[in-house]
Structure 1
Amino acid sequence: MRDPLAGLADVSWRQLHHAHGVAADVPDRLRMLRSPNTATREGAMAWLSRAVCHDGSHWPVSAAVVPFLVALVDDPSTPDRESVLSLLRAVVVGDAALPFTPDFSSGDELSDDDLAELAKLLSESENARAEAPEEYFDAAAVRWAGDAYRAGLAHVPSYANWLSDPAVAAQAAELLAYFPPDEKTVDALVTSVAPASANLTLGYLSGFPTVDEHLTSQLDAEPLEVRMTAAIALAFRLGGDLPARALDLLVDVSPPPAPPGWDRSMRGFVTLALRRVGL
């Protein structure tokens, strides 16, 4: 298999910035994610999290790391692929909430030169915000977040492929809830090896009438988490037209834990579902 980091030398890292300065040190940290040493990998992961998307903040380098993180998850020989996927998610969608409608238009007012100067100020100046108008920094943050999201959007087919991989399927399903669906993605969600997580994502996708049929069939699944997530998804999609047996499940059954990749508890999802139904 081709080295997932083979293209690192093709990126002008010295022209990009992260939270701590020029991004020339990013390639080495990405390589460390392939290290056989656990401590080395964990250290690189922590460093990248702080430098590339710290506390939801994005930088010019954020979009540049996306294809390499995707390639690392794509490669089964990459250690701790679940952690790499978690980092990818943080870079691509940050702390965005569902349902998600991307709007990064407020970041378009700055030129590339403006953005480069602001990135340099933020990473190298001791008092950067005194050296440029505050609205410039706000617009830059939106622009870099938008660049990272669009970089992630380019790899939706990879996320759909991960739905058949037990190691990362649940996280991949959650990530797909943030992107516009197509028939191939929906088909992959319907057949995912992580059906509980896929069900939740299907609840956030509008259209695709066959999804309702699939979710209704999932109400008969043996695992409680699959039945419960199917009922939640149907409530999100159908509202007051929710089938009675799905409503009974939401009202009468104590919910299990949420699938991997989802921050909200299953009880929280049930509460949202009941509100959607009108209870």
Structure 2
Amino acid sequence: MNPLLGIDRVAWEGLHHAYGTARDVPGHLRSLLSADAEARSAARQALATSVYHQGTRWEASQAVVPWLVALVDDAATPERGSVLALLDAVAIGDRRDDQLPFDAAAAFAREATAEEARWFAGLDDWSDEDIEAGDRAAARWAADSYRRTAEHLDAVVRWVGDPDDDVAARAAALLAWFPPTAAATRALLDVPASRPDVRRSADLALAHSPDTDPAVDARLRELLPGFTAAVALAYRCGEALPDAALAVLADAADAALPAAVPGWERAPRGFVMLALQRLGLG
């Protein structure tokens, strides 16, 4: 089945993105299914600069979410990990892991009403007086994109078990930005150590999770000497960190680590250093 079936029923021409009307969005979304890699790359770039413009979301951003979800959910979609990265950008913006656990109520406290945001979107020219209104509108559009993504968390949870490691790792990282559910925590715990990229991403998601289920820490202990398991235990346990995890962190500070963990911007060594700082050892 075509994952974009019904896309033309959305009134795109009545929505705005960073460059005006969003009537071009369906074409870009369709190009994500192209057999031409350059066409797909151009479409991702066009979407990234229009519905996620330097971290700012717009009216059309939330409308893109279900279609990006449908594309990632279809195993036939090319470069699904890159599509999921775009979904992550629309959902979360340019927030960094130091804002985890994420407090959505505080983050979006200054959001405009739908009517105020709609008024701002229709402005052709902005005055200095409009800057605050613009900030409030941007908060509204960011909130709308986040909440729209939250409606599809069952799919994100499912993707943690996806056979594509890039998709699975990015899905695990995305879950860190939403309140934990039993299903989400179970999906993160169940990632096998035989999938190291996915396991590391799941560990980092659990590091930032407010879920206090003892099964989480027990599973992380089982995953030692994995360095991200040690990081997660340091984040979660503080001074009660098991000696075995502390030894892993001490060794990891000077060891060769992977260049990156898919879905996370901070370098792995940065997480190790932060874990040691939390213990007063950084």
Do these two structures clear the TM 0.5 threshold for a shared fold by scoring above it?
A: yes
Aligned pairs for 1:87-236 (under 5 A) are 87-98=86-97, 99=100, 100-102=102-104, 103-108=107-112, 110=113, 112-121=114-123, 125=124, 128-130=125-127, 132-167=129-164, 168-192=167-191, 193=195, 194-206=198-210, 207-220=212-225, 227-236=226-235
Residue identity in the other structure for 1:268 = G
Q: Which stretches of structure 1, 4 residues or more, deviate above 6 A after TM superposition?
A: none
Shift of 1:119: 1.0
- Whether the 8 Å CA contact 1:212–1:234 is kept in 2: the answer is yes
Q: Which residue in 1 is equivalent to 2:257?
A: 256
Distance in 2, matches of 1:187 and 1:234, equals 17
Distance in 2, matches of 1:211 and 1:113, equals 43
Distance in 1, matches of 2:115 and 2:157, equals 36
Secondary structure of the equivalent of 2:126?
Answer: helix
Residue identity in the other structure for 1:9 = D
Distance in 1, matches of 2:122 and 2:21, equals 8
Residue identity in the other structure for 2:67 = F
Shift of 1:10: 2.4
Distance in 1, matches of 2:134 and 2:242, equals 49
Distance in 1, matches of 2:80 and 2:155, equals 14
* Cα displacement string for residues 169-216 of structure 1 (whole angstroms, at most 9, x for unaligned residues): 111111111010111111111112521110110111121221000000
Residue identity in the other structure for 1:74 = D
* Cα displacement string for residues 113-158 of structure 1 (whole angstroms, at most 9, x for unaligned residues): 332221122xxx3xx2217532111100100000000011111111
Distance in 1, matches of 2:27 and 2:200, equals 37
Shift of 1:54: 1.2
Residues paired across the two proteins, number: 265
- Whether the 8 Å CA contact 1:228–1:255 is kept in 2: the answer is no
Residue identity in the other structure for 1:177 = A
Alignment CA distance shift 1:255-1:208 (3 Å): farther
Q: Which residue in 1 is equivalent to 2:243?
A: 244
Q: Structure 1 unaligned segments of length 5 or more: list them.
A: 221-226
- Whether the 8 Å CA contact 1:231–1:249 is kept in 2: the answer is yes
Normalised TM-score (structure 2): 0.90
* Cα displacement string for residues 215-270 of structure 1 (whole angstroms, at most 9, x for unaligned residues): 000015xxxxxx10000000000000001111011012315123212110111001
Q: Which residue in 2 is equivalent to 1:55?
A: 54
